[in-house]
Amino acid sequence: MSCCSSKKITLNDKTFEIFIPYEKLNDAIVSLADRINEDYRDKKVPLFLGVLNGSFMFMSELMQKIDFPCEVSFVKLASYQGTASTGTVTELIGLKDNIRGRHVIVVEDIVDTGESIEHLLRSLSGHEPASVEVATMLFKPESYKKELAIKYRAMEIPNDFIIGFGLDYDQLGRNLKDIYKIVNE
């Protein structure tokens, strides 16, 4: 659902207002895809590795804009409960692909503290890929606590709790076309 800037929605006990409309998000994804296309066009069939559940909408949009042969796979991690990070990362679905000697682009919905992405990259390094980079739809520089470089960032945002376009609040809101932020009431 796309809407005007005054639109508010309520999920469970929280109210959210539109923060990033789909059109602005799509422009950022196009720009990010252009950079990835330039960097990987001559690489041998890179693997895009989406991190479920949050990345599914971003991954879908991004893949439609990639113009070179590639493969797609997914892993599933969990680190949030409600509106806060638990501080621990649980691998729910692990890597099933052989990535030895391959270029891997990890596709994340959002990088905030960096706990999940650090956990995943540490796990992937044991599989001896040729290279691993991260492409994230959203990056929260104020929250980021790690030293790992996040090369591909579609957008940087403040440290607000957000939903929509794959991001959720207790599994709700992933289907929203726009991104919403929590309203402090």
Could you report how far apart the first and last alpha carbons of the chain are, in Å?
A: 23
Tell me how crowded residue 25 is: count the other CB atoms within 10 A of its CB.
Answer: 23
Choose, from 13, 97, 109, 112, the residue flagged as catalytic.
Answer: 112
User: Residues near 116 by Cβ (< 8 Å), separated by ≥ 6?
Assistant: 51, 77, 79, 89, 108
In the residue annotation, 27 being an active-site residue is answered as no
181 contacts 162 by C-beta, under 8 angstroms: yes
DSSP code string of 122-163: HHHHTT--SEEEEEEEEE-TTT--------EEEEE--S--EE
Residues serving a catalytic function are: 112
